Amino acid sequence: MYNTFLCNLLYGPIGILQLIIFTIGNVCFVPLAYIGHVFALIQTVTDSDETMDELSEKIERGKTICKFIFIGPFMLTFSIFTDAYKFWINLYTQPSDSEAEVNLNLITKESIELF
């Protein structure tokens, strides 16, 4: 218990510094992600490789683009906080030592039938 306390005491400032650096980087990349995603969405409408042949599909994609233009900044801003929280939690989680806890059979017959 004493060892855990000392490890947390010594690792705490390093973890806080890493969290601050991660959050600043995240804040810097959110506008770039927003602009990049808007351009990627617009490109799907103008791209000849897309399978949107009908006008109704292009109109639906246009609605999706408009929704993202207005709602996207709020979603991406909220993601800054959720990413910081998850980053902090992951700093203090320990990897599983037991192989029995890990389920290696991730693909089941039911999941293939569902897919």
pLDDT at 9 over 60: yes
Judge whether 77 lies within some domain. yes
Residues 6+ positions from 38 with CB-CB distance below 8 Å: 65, 68, 69, 72
Residue 60: give the domain boundaries: 2-93
* Upper half-sphere CA count for residue 86 (Cβ side, 13 Å): 7
Whole-prediction pTM value?
0.64
Judge whether 107 lies within some domain. no
Judge whether 22 lies within some domain. yes
Judge whether 31 lies within some domain. yes
Q: What is the mean pLDDT of residues 36-64?
A: 80
Query: How high is the pLDDT of residue 97?
Result: 63
Judge whether 25 lies within some domain. yes
Judge whether 113 lies within some domain. no
Residues 6+ positions from 77 with CB-CB distance below 8 Å: 30
Count of structural domains, the chain: 1
